[in-house]
């Protein structure tokens, strides 16, 4: 056997070993003590399932209690809305939007996400043969056999939301589901494969959705034009680069003093905003606020991202300007804002609405469109032969041209930011008025009430009203057109694998058998 064959065999064995562990779950295997975090001393699980090792403050409890109370009051209205979703969507869009901005009751989040991401339609695709496994199951089966991303996915699951009750235990049911969804998706969309960040996104989806639903939700986020996160994650991160450039422009225009300050401290936005865009603010702002952003993101699409990034900086500008070094600034962005954002969720959402409106007026709500296509070029479900290095699980030796360009671009960015201090001066005067806007909203905060829909109409500041009008122009889902291509999957490939099944379809065993065949 040649050395190459040996290495390939080793890589295969490793993949199979990992897949087996996830198939077995927590039972039927010895789990190294090292794999499970020690939470013997935890005090409390918050309403979203996160475990806090510090005792939560009384304020925190009080806030949770209030939130729940409001949600119970609203639940009836929401239930009605979910029941008549299609009708409601057509005739009462404005109300739907208003309600989502005010906060989806946590109990109904699952139903609302399923609706907003059009999951049910994607899952109920007609199939010719009832015994035939779903696209998801086919992809999962293929993924277990061929995915070259298994190692990376396993690594990331091992450190994803380990402070959450669902993901705390190694190989728990949710960890298994997370593994399955990511492995299956790495096969379904092979141009993208797997990129760090996707595990976090999928884990949040799995807190609310079931396995197969999460798969389709992930797919929607990646390939639906409304979100098109595919371009964020593929090699070279083309969409991220456009977002960063736009973000810099927004700062130069609206927060020039802060921009100058951040540049002076070499705080390139690459250093603080990557997670904002990659994982939609998860672990950078408190989870309750993050969910509200996700709800609005699902409704409005990607323009929420630049607006929220701007909102964070707008709200914290005064504080940030006082920091003396990069260390303090980084700490603030990475940890402090996650622990305590300093403003109530409702207030942040109101500010976000204003930001959306400001950016839209200046046509900066989205970066200029890309010259290149940032969506999958091949049909989804097409098998793309991985490179030898990928099969072996080794880093490729050379940087591709795309990668080289990105490196140059990032270097150029930081140099340019150093040189752009003059342009910024011109915008400084504007910034003062922007900061005033923020102060103005805080005047309103005490008066705003989120207890009832009808009160909404009485909120007086005009920005928000204009904003809502323009919100009605955006579409809720545009995925159904895109889904057509999926039905023409590369059938042959899957049939080869599923053919042996004699009538009754037993998926788990099938996978087990198929990896056995490989060994």
Partner 1 sequence: MSEDFDLLFKIVLIGDVSVGKSCIVTRFKTGNVFTERHTNTIGVDFSMKNIKIGNKRIKLQIWDTAGHERFRSITSSYYRSAHGVIIVYDITKRNTFLSLQKWLNEIRNYTASNVVCALIGNKCDLVEGREVTIEEAEDVCNIVPEVLFYLETSAKENTNIEGAFTRIAEELMNRQSCIDDENQDGIKLGQSKSISNGNCSC
**Where along the sequence are the contacts to partner 1 (CB under 8 A)?**
34, 37-38, 152, 155-156, 158-160, 162-163, 195-197, 199-200, 233, 235-237, 264-266, 270-271, 274-275, 278-279, 283, 324-327, 330-331, 334, 393-397, 399, 402-408, 410-411, 414, 418
- The residue among 118 and 202 lying less far from partner 1, judged by its C-beta, is 202
Q: Judged by CB, which is closer to partner 1: 156, or 302?
A: 156
Instruction: Name the minimum Å distance from CB 161 to partner 1.
Output: 8
Structure tokens at 154: 């396993």
Contact between residue 348 and residue 315 where contact means Cβ atoms under 8 Å apart: yes
- C-beta of 109 vs 284, nearer to partner 1: 284
Q: Which is nearer to partner 1, 160 or 291 (CB)?
A: 160
CB under 8 Å to 465, separation ≥6 — which residues? 459
Contact 361, 310 (CB under 8 A): no
* Nearest distance, CB of residue 257 and partner 1, angstroms: 16
Q: What are phi and psi of 18, to 5 degrees?
A: -65, -50
We find the least distance from the C-beta atom of residue 451 to partner 1, in angstroms, to be: 36
Q: Which is nearer to partner 1, 377 or 395 (CB)?
A: 395
**Closer CB to partner 1, residue 54 or residue 447?**
54
DSSP 35: G
Buried b (16+ CB within 10 A) or exposed e, 451-485: eeeeebeeeebebbeebbeebeeeebbebeebbee
Q: Which residue carries 């690459």 as its tokens?
A: 270
Cα-trace Rg, the chain: 24
Closest to partner 1 by CB, 389 vs 425, is: 389
Query: Smallest distance, Å, CB 142 to partner 1?
Result: 21
At 33 the three-state DSSP class reads helix
Nearest to 295 by CA among 434, 102, 15: 102
Q: What torsion do the CA atoms of 258, 259, 263, 267 make, to the nearest 10 degrees?
A: 80
Q: Give one word for 342, left, alpha or beta, with left for phi > 0 and alpha for psi -120 to 50.
A: left
Q: Which residues have CB under 8 Å from 360's CB, separation 6+? A: 303, 470
Q: Strand pairing partners for 50? A: 164
Return the number of the residue (197 or 301) whose C-beta is nearest partner 1. 197
Measured distance CA(243)–CA(126) in Å, rounded: 38
Smallest separation, CB 261 to partner 1 (Å): 11
Rounded to a whole number of angstroms, the minimum distance from the CB of residue 217 to partner 1 is 21
CB of 297 to partner 1, least distance (A): 18
> Which residue, 342 or 418, has its beta carbon nearer to partner 1?
418
Q: 399: which 2 tokens?
A: 């940087």
Question: 136 vs 277, which CB is nearer to partner 1?
Answer: 277
Minimum distance from residue 459 beta carbon to partner 1 (Å): 37
Which run of H or E residues covers position 310? helix 304-320
Residue 435 beta carbon to partner 1: minimum distance, rounded to whole angstroms: 24
Backbone angles phi, psi at 55, to 5 degrees: -65, 135
Minimum gap (Å) between residue 408 Cβ and partner 1: 8
Strand partners, 44: 52
């Amino acid at each position: 056997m040649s050395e190459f064959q040996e290495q390939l065999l080793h890589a295969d064995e490793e993949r199979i070993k990992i897949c087996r562990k996830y198939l077995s779950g927590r039972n039927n295997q010895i789990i190294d003590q090292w794999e499970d975090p020690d939470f013997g001393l935890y005090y409390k699980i918050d309403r979203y399932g996160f475990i806090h090792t510090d005792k939560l403050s009384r304020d925190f409890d009080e806030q949770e209690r209030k939130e729940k109370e409001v949600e119970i009051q609203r639940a009836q209205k929401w239930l009605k809305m979910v029941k008549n979703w299609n009708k409601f969507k057509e005739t009462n869009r404005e109300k739907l939007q208003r309600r989502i901005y005010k906060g989806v009751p946590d109990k109904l989040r699952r139903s609302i996400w399923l609706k907003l991401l059009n999951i049910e339609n994607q899952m109920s695709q007609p199939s010719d043969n009832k015994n035939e496994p779903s696209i998801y199951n086919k992809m999962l089966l293929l993924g277990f056999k061929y995915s070259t991303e298994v190692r990376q996915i396993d690594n990331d699951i091992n450190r994803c939301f380990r402070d959450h009750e669902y993901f705390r235990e190694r190989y728990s049911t949710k960890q298994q589901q997370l593994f399955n969804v990511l492995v299956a998706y790495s096969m379904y969309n092979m141009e993208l494969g797997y990129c760090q960040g996707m595990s976090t996104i999928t884990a949040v989806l799995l807190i609310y959705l079931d396995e197969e639903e999460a798969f389709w939700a992930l797919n929607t986020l990646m390939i639906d034009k409304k979100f098109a996160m595919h371009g964020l994650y593929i090699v070279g991160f083309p969409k991220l680069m456009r977002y960063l450039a736009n973000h810099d422009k927004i700062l130069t225009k609206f927060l020039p003093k802060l921009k100058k300050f951040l540049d002076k401290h070499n705080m390139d936005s690459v250093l603080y905003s990557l997670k904002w865009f990659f994982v939609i603010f998860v672990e950078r702002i408190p989870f309750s606020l993050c969910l509200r952003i996700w709800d609005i993101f699902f409704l409005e699409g990607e323009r929420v991202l630049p607006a929220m990034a701007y909102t964070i900086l707008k709200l914290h500008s005064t504080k940030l300007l006082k920091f003396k070094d990069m260390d303090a600034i980084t700490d603030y962005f990475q940890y402090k804002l996650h622990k305590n954002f300093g403003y109530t969720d409702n207030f942040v959402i109101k500010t976000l609405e204003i930001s959306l409106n400001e950016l839209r007026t200046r046509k900066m709500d989205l970066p200029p469109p890309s010259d290149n296509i940032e969506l999958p070029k091949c049909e989804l479900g097409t098998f793309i032969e991985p490179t030898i290095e990928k099969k072996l699980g080794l880093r490729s030796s050379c940087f591709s041209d795309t990668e080289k360009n990105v490196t140059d671009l990032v270097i150029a960015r930081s140099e340019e930011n150093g040189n752009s201090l003059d342009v910024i001066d011109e915008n400084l005067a504007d910034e003062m008025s922007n900061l005033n806007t923020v102060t103005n909203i805080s005047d309103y905060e005490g008066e705003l009430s989120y207890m009832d829909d009808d009160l909404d109409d009485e909120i007086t500041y005009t920005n928000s009203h204009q904003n809502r009008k323009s919100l009605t122009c955006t579409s809720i889902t545009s995925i159904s057109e895109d889904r057509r291509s999926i039905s023409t999957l590369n059938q042959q490939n899957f049939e080869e694998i599923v053919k042996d099944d004699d009538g009754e379809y037993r998926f788990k065993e099938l996978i087990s058998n198929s990896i056995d065949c490989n060994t």
